[in-house]
A and B are shown apart, each in its own frame.
Chain A
Amino acid sequence: MKIILELFGASRDFSEKGHIDFEIPKPILIKDFRKVITDYLNDKFNGNTSFLQIVKNSAFCSEENEIISDNYKITKSQKISIIPPIGGG
């Protein structure tokens, strides 16, 4: 299945496209997907610690615009948003 990770805030520095596409062979928990993203960034940016910190401190949001926990299982192709620490106003 294809998971399109939509990037916001500081995570936009991960890709100029505004998203990163992942091909995942089977359903995956958010906590494991977080590891997939970390591995991708480690590989692509030589362990850029600030990028890894962003992933560690981020929440995730489903296509239904709900914040989802680490135990949420992604079972089908969909868009998932990464929500780094926020600060509007």
Chain B
Amino acid sequence: MLHTKIIDTQKEQIKISDAEQFIASSKFGANIYFTGTVRNLNDNKEVTGITYDSHDEMVIKSFEEIYNETEQKLNIQDKAVFIEHVKGYVKLGEMSIIIAVACKHRDQAYVLSRYIIEEIKKRTPIWKKEHYINEDSQWLKGNPIKT
């Protein structure tokens, strides 16, 4: 059971209530909600917001691949996974990502949630442009995708 979506911040908001609704429908007992928010400091620079860029089709494809491979790699068959990531401008303190998972047991849920965020960091084509208090901005250095 998988839900994925890219939220264009110019059109709609990312909402934890959507994740709660999805997870509630799964009827599993162990639920974990991970959210990422824009933090105030990076490399000693005061951050006011981040613009996220996304290759939408590749992002959704990578979410599906990550979900599908957890059956073999983590041996977790019964699960519900909700992944939403924003694109566009997000202010300091606002959410950029929600990963919600539900499994039968808590150890599975912790492992699954951690696996998903780490794999997204490694291979999902999303980019960040940080905006600073002095009105400067810069694209952050990321990890090259392996070919």
* Chain A interface residues toward B at CB < 8 A: 8-10, 12-13, 57-61, 65, 67-70, 81, 83-89
* Chain B interface residues toward A at CB < 8 A: 36, 52-55, 57-59, 61, 85, 96-97, 117, 120-121, 123-128, 139-147
Using Cβ atoms and an 8 Å threshold, which residues of chain B touch A84?
127, 139, 142
Sorted nearest first, the 3 A-B pairs with minimum C-beta distance are A88-B126, A9-B127, A87-B142
Most buried by A among B53, B120, B126, B147: B147
Q: Is the interface of A mostly helix, strand, loop or mixed?
A: mixed
Q: Are B55 and A8 in contact (CB under 8 A)?
A: yes
Given A8-B125, A10-B127, A89-B96, answer yes or no on A69-B147 (Cβ-Cβ < 8 Å).
yes
Using Cβ atoms and an 8 Å threshold, which residues of chain B touch A60?
147
Q: Are A88 and B143 in contact (CB under 8 A)?
A: no
Q: Are A87 and B127 in contact (CB under 8 A)?
A: yes
Q: Which of B53, B58, B97 contacts A9 (CB 8 A)?
A: B53
